[in-house]
Amino acid sequence: MEFWSSLLLEVWDAVIDLLPNSKREDMAGRLVDIFADKGMERDDFEAIRGEDGYLDSAIDVHYTGESDDEHYDEHDYDEDH
């Protein structure tokens, strides 16, 4: 896995449990936009597909303008937050 892909996953793993469910989609979108603006390539985003539903959806929105809600799984809807 490339540097950018690994870094994005590490940042996401560090913040996801600190966020309530209602903020996770927005934060994933912001992180994908930030990393893309800093030079992360589409192939690097594709390398992390399947790692997290929120990130998958944010990548879809960033590149197509559309979200696919099928990316969310039980982990994404943790009742603790």
**For the chain (length 81 residues), average pLDDT per consecutive 10?**
92 97 97 97 96 97 77 46 41
pLDDT at residue number 54 = 97
Query: DSSP string covering 6-71, please?
Result: HHHHHHHHHHHTTS-HHHHHHHHHHHHHHHHHTT--HHHHHHTTTS-HHHHHHHHHHHHS---GGG
Mean pLDDT of the chain: 87
